[in-house]
Amino acid sequence: MGILNIENVSKSFGSRRVLDSVSLSLERGETLALIGPSGEGKSTLLRICALLERADSGAVEYDGLYACKAGRYAGKAELAACRARLGMVFQSFELFPHRSVIQNICDAPAVVQHRNANEVRQEGSALLARVGLAGREDAMPYQLSGGEKQRVCIARALCMHPEILLFDEPTSALDPQSTLDVLNIIRSLKSDGISMMIVTHEMDFAKSAADRIAFLYGGRIAEIGTGEYMFGKSTSKELEKFLTGGKA
């Protein structure tokens, strides 16, 4: 069993079935990339993992702790315990605009986890240095470039010490250089042993950094495997079509 297990999860929006009995496990320390055409359920699946969206049926489990079993969600306390294991980085950053960079990083550890404010601030500064933003503690979010914002978001998520980090298209809104910077940071997190699930359109990154790649198509996981398998040995027609931009 992995650290995050999705079992037979289905989800519909109105009459549109976005996920159709999807099962997927994220192993401890694994980096898993979710790829596929737009509108095929990648983000919905990630949001269900982040507990931002509710599955209609199936189970969502975090290392023995069930958030959802047979389509029924657990109570507030259990969900909070599940949430405590998670961190998430959004495509649109979602930094809090009225808070400085360091406050964005340190508020939740102090308020939610009741940790010592000075210790958290020191850790926040260290994390900022780690993502290449040493000395930018007091900057406001609007003073940062897109790439810098995303790096602060990663630091904010890390400061909560999550076991699982979820990334929803973290580089879709970034220029090529910022994309490289952010992807390099994500790559560096692998050595920390954090389990990561990443929705991405960066195929080179998925191929080189992910341990496994899952291809979502038609609300199902149409193919899953290592980069080597997915980009060479798979016989899936849909995957081939997707990877070649519809020319297959």
Partner 1 sequence: MSIQDMIAQLGQGMLTSVLIYALTLIGAVPLALPLALARGGKSKIARLLTGAYISFMRGTPLMLQLIAVYFGPWYLFRIRISDGYRFHAVIIAFVLNYAAYFAEIYRAGIAAVPKGQREAAAVLGYTNAQAFFRIVLPQVIKHILPPMANEFITLIKDTSLAFAIGVMEMFTLAKQISSAQRSMAPLIAAAVFYYVFNAIVAFIMGRAEKRLDYYR
Binding site for partner 1 (CB under 8 A): 50-52, 80, 83-84, 86-88, 90, 92, 94-98, 107-108, 111-113, 140-142, 156, 160
Q: Which is nearer to partner 1, 168 or 223 (CB)?
A: 168
The conformation of residue 169, written as its DSSP 8-state character, comes to S
Query: Cα separation of 74 and 26, whole Å?
Result: 21
- H/E element holding 206? helix 203-209
- H/E element holding 67? strand 65-69
Report in angstroms how near the CB of residue 37 gets to partner 1 at its nearest. Answer: 23
Q: Which is nearer to partner 1, 156 or 212 (CB)?
A: 156
Report in angstroms how near the CB of residue 212 gets to partner 1 at its nearest. Answer: 23
Report in angstroms how near the CB of residue 154 gets to partner 1 at its nearest. Answer: 13
Report in angstroms how near the CB of residue 199 gets to partner 1 at its nearest. Answer: 15
Distances in Å between the Cα of 16 and the Cα atoms of 7, 11, 26, 47, 112 are 20, 9, 26, 17, 36
Report in angstroms how near the CB of residue 112 gets to partner 1 at its nearest. Answer: 4
Q: Which is nearer to partner 1, 142 or 176 (CB)?
A: 142
Tokens 């503690």 — which residue? 137
Q: Which is nearer to partner 1, 16 or 98 (CB)?
A: 98
Q: Which is nearer to partner 1, 8 or 91 (CB)?
A: 91
Query: Cα separation of 185 and 99, whole Å?
Result: 23
Report in angstroms how near the CB of residue 188 gets to partner 1 at its nearest. Answer: 22
Long-range contacts of 121-128 (CB under 8 A, 24+ apart): 123/159, 124/155, 124/159, 127/155, 127/158, 127/159, 128/101, 128/102, 128/152, 128/155
**Count H helices, E strands: the chain?**
9, 11
Q: Which is nearer to partner 1, 79 or 180 (CB)?
A: 79
Using an 8 Å Cβ cutoff, are 135 and 126 in contact?
Answer: no
